[in-house]
């Protein structure tokens, strides 16, 4: 029986932009990136009513688990990874967050100031987690140094990855590494491969942006990083989601990785499938939702 329980509350395969995850171990509840958003425009169209409904459901779920969590992790300050305008939700919590002034781009630095200084203030215990490890009732929570949100030099900045270990079991949450496309992120994951992770929750590359907003070579690097996780890290289960699931043809883009997973004893599923739910790629389906061809 697993010593660690993992729930994925919201994700792009569940109709919203998110990777909100809750980990329970040894009686400690850890909320990871509990937030959600939707694209203001896709294919030139605004969000459909169904997307708006899923967003409110996701945010309600995130709010409830923020209340239930003993520890809250914020790996970076993009709005789908925390709830920015409701600081009272975090009152009395332990917050393990990306450092707001070190190894951070201007946009995230501004957002972190508004969230942590103007919002949270001294109402919660805030710890800057970059490269650190913490222990709660025998549950070890380890953080990577800041790694790129995608390929090295990404204009959207850096994020933290998280490993949780309890009773010899390991779970890894990669946040928005997009593959990873950053070789240094992959090197951290290699170091974290012992003990073999029972689960890796992975933010996949934005294949829908390849050659448009993201260079093709960066997306290819992210796909290569995914394949290396399957072949080298070999988690029992690899949940792949987030940016990748904004591509209606995501399965075609990762067919070779799914084959590699099957050969290496790795079960690959989306967040929705992991939670026993149907895949709802609402952003990728926005034209169909609006009845457009």
Residue 240 in any domain: the answer is yes
Question: Considering only CA atoms, which of 66, 195, 183, 65 is closest in space to residue 142?
Answer: 195
CB neighbours of 277 closer than 8 A, spacing ≥ 6? 14
Residue 263 in any domain: the answer is yes
Residue 293 in any domain: the answer is no
Domain coverage including residue 189: 4-288
Ranges assigned E (strand) in the chain: 4-8, 21-25, 28-32, 71-74, 94-97, 125-128, 133-136, 139-143, 147-148, 158-159, 162-166, 169-173, 199-203, 237-241, 267-269
- CA dist., res. 264 & res. 259, Å (int): 9
Query: How confident is the model at residue 231, as a pLDDT?
Result: 98
Residue 46 in any domain: the answer is yes
> Is the pTM higher than 0.85?
yes
Query: How confident is the model at residue 293, as a pLDDT?
Result: 58
Query: How confident is the model at residue 13, as a pLDDT?
Result: 98
Residue 106 in any domain: the answer is yes
Query: How confident is the model at residue 18, as a pLDDT?
Result: 98
Ordered per-residue pLDDT tens for the chain, 293 residues: 789 999 999 999 999 999 999 999 999 999 999 999 999 999 999 999 999 999 999 999 999 999 999 999 999 999 999 999 999 999 999 999 999 999 999 999 999 999 999 999 999 999 999 999 999 999 999 999 999 999 999 999 999 999 999 999 999 999 999 999 999 999 999 999 999 999 999 999 999 999 999 999 999 999 999 999 999 999 999 999 999 999 999 999 999 999 999 999 999 999 999 999 999 999 999 999 999 85
- For residue 72, the domain's CATH number is 3.60.15.10
Residue 268 in any domain: the answer is yes
Query: How confident is the model at residue 251, as a pLDDT?
Result: 98
Burial group, residue 102, by CB count within 10 angstroms (0-12, 13-18, 19+): exposed
Q: Quote the number of domains for the chain.
A: 1
Residue 42 in any domain: the answer is yes
Count of helices and strands (H, E) across the chain? 8, 15
Query: How confident is the model at residue 1, as a pLDDT?
Result: 77
């Amino acid at each position: 029986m697993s010593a660690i329980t993992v729930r994925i509350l919201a994700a792009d395969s569940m109709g919203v932009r998110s990777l909100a995850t809750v980990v329970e171990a040894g009686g400690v509840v850890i909320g990871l990136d509990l937030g959600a958003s939707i694209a203001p425009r896709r294919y030139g169209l605004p969000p459909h009513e169904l997307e708006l409904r899923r967003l409110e459901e996701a945010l309600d779920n995130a709010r409830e688990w923020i209340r239930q969590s003993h520890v809250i992790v914020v790996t970076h300050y993009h709005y789908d990874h925390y709830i920015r305008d409701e600081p009272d939700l975090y009152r009395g919590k332990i917050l393990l967050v990306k450092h707001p002034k070190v190894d951070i781009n201007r946009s995230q630095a501004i957002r972190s100031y508004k969230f942590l200084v103007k919002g949270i203030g001294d109402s919660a215990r805030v710890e800057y987690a970059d490269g650190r490890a913490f222990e709660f009732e025998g549950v070890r929570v380890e953080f990577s140094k800041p790694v790129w949100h995608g390929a090295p030099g990404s204009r959207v900045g850096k994020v933290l990855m998280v490993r949780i270990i309890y009773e010899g079991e390991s779970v890894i949450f990669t946040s928005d590494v997009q593959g990873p496309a950053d070789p240094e992120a992959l090197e951290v994951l290699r170091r974290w491969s012992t003990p073999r992770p029972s689960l890796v929750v992975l933010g996949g590359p934005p294949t829908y942006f390849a050659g448009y907003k993201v260079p093709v070579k960066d997306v290819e690097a992210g796909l290569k990083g995914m394949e290396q996780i399957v072949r080298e890290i070999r988690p029992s289960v690899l949940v792949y989601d987030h940016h990748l699931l904004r591509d209606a043809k995501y399965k075609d883009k990762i067919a070779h990785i799914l084959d590699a997973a099957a050969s290496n004893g790795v079960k690959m599923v989306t967040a929705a499938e992991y939670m026993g739910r149907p895949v709802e790629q609402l952003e990728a389906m926005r034209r169909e939702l609006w009845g457009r061809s």
